[in-house]
A = this chain, B = another copy of it.
Amino acid sequence: MSKNNAARSQGMGALQIYEEIKRQILGGVFGSAGQLPSSRALAHELGVSRTTVTAAYEQLLAEGFIEVQQGARPRVACAVVGPSRNKTGSKRSVRTRLSAYGEHVRKIPPWSDKELGRLVVDFRHGDLASSDFPVTLWKRLMNKAMDRRPERLSYDDPRGSRRLRMALQGYLWRARTIRCDLDQIIIVNGSQQGLDLCARLLLDATDRFVIENPCYAMARQIFSGTGASPVSIPVDDDGLNTDLLAEIDARLAYVTPSHQFPLGGVMPISRRHQLLRWATRRNANVIEDDYDSEYRYDINPVAPLHGLENSDNVIYLGTISKTLSPTLRIGYLVVPPGLQDVFATAKELADRHSPVAEQEALAALIESGAYESHLRRVRRLNHERREILLNALRHRFGDKVAIEGADAGLHIVVWFKDLPGSLEAALLEKAHRAGVGVHTISRLYDQGAHGVRTDRIGLVMGYAALDARRIERGIQLLAEAIKQVRFARKPVPPT
């Protein structure tokens, strides 16, 4: 790596510039038909003479890598951009000493997109249909937000846009009967950042935290990352089994009472009171993740924990990732008054504040009432998708499947009563080969605690990104995969 620098001090040569740009063109750095910097600009950036850059460009032109038109900057010749070849000579890899948190993070399998786009149908939970997004309206609001020119561009309030927090304050009351002060609301980059701030501010390595079993895996990962120990409590049809809390001393409890993730139970009022009494007694915080409460179909709304008696310890967490888009990265915390300053400062230290334009656009969307109209629309669309999925499952599998959590949300849990857990790997492999992405519930259980069912396979099936044709096709492919698993399992008859 020192060559580059040494070259600079002697004046980098045309050959080196030629080679580097060729490598970048082949690696797709400029896109296809993208423009290269002008020779003057590049000479200035690299601190070499323009003649040197021109010589490099002439060589690239001669070899057909670039095209030059009089007066314009050189362009990448369309034909040459091949598949990505970005492996430059890597630096020597050093085994770095990481922090305890770093070692925790190192053990988590890295993100992979290798399945994306390869499947015919993917029932992954968390994705939304892009056709549901109000793109024209959103663009109009974003353009308005981008047009608002303050005199100077400055770092903003770490708690987020005041206008958005005001709009959310009204929305939370209308939609969730939550009353709060403006300063209790902190805008975060999606629920995940909300959970991360809670984990960092509330948990030390010597603490324990209560978590549902099964649960949202990234919540367990982020809380465990502090070094604190999980106390996994089983969930049933009514969510977290609060009877089991009595003897537990823990610093916080993480719950999804509106629609338990993944099993879908709605926590009844008696358990809500039990949970809050426990939290008060233990001086523990309760994190109420209300990730998909906008979607209720056959049931009456249940007021969130946040509005109940003894809810002084509740931290409420909401998101637009399930209602608008996960790519916007906007969520919100409602924290107790005693924690509002410390959360605001923690958000500031984490990344100053969330991007401004999206917050302004969302505020305008809520203020105008269009957000709630949009919610009614996507609620109806997802209700239809759910019906199609339930019908397809009934049609293909009849009473061989048991379905949980269909009253609300954007996913259901489907138990295959005649497929023992031992066949899970085979099912995943056959389904993947058939082109259908399915996601088993077993990976959401705390493997250390007991609770995971081994007598049947459970799938968490999201449907919000799929249209009717895809849902039906997906269930058909899944049925074929299951047939293959069953067939393969049959003992070969003795010859």
Contacts and interface: CB of A to CB of B under 8 A. Distances in A.
A332 to B, nearest CB: 13
Interface string A79-92: 00000101110111
Contacts of A101: 200-201, 346
Interface in A49-73: 73
A214 B143 CA distance: 41
A402 interface: no
Given A189-B351, A358-B355, A170 B338 contact: no
Contacts of A84: 182
B326 A352 contact: yes
A349 interface: yes
Contacts of A90: 181, 337
A97 B208 CA distance: 13
Contact of A99 (B97, B190, B204): B204
Contact of A73 (B95, B142, B326, B369): B369
Contacts of A36: 369
A326 B27 CA distance: 30
A116 interface: yes
Nearest to A225: B349
A120 B180 CA distance: 35
B174 A102 contact: no
Contacts of A328: 355-357
A78 interface: no
Nearest to A349: B222
Interface stretch (A133-141, A230-238, A410-418, A481-489): A133-141
Contact of A42 (B138, B174, B348): B174
A167 B101 CA distance: 31
B24 A173 contact: yes
Interface stretch (A299-307, A424-432, A453-461): A299-307
A350 B196 contact: yes
Contacts of A356: 327-328
Interface stretch (A151-159, A254-262, A385-393): A151-159
A457 to B, nearest CB: 24
Contacts of A372: 37, 41, 45
B126 A351 contact: no
**Interface size classification for chain A:** 35 or more
Interface string A88-119: 10111111111111100110101101001000
A368 B35 contact: yes
Interface string A280-324: 000101000000000000001101001111011100000000000
A194 B139 CA distance: 29
A8 B177 contact: yes
Nearest to A98: B201
Contacts of A367: 30-31, 34-35
B105 A174 contact: no
A18 to B, nearest CB: 13
A354 interface: yes
A433 interface: no
A111 B157 contact: yes
Given A146-B138, A157-B111, A201-B101, A170 B30 contact: yes
Given A24-B169, A337-B93, A192 B349 contact: yes
A173 B339 CA distance: 45
Contacts of A327: 153-156, 355-357
A342 B153 contact: no
A20 interface: yes
A88 B135 CA distance: 35
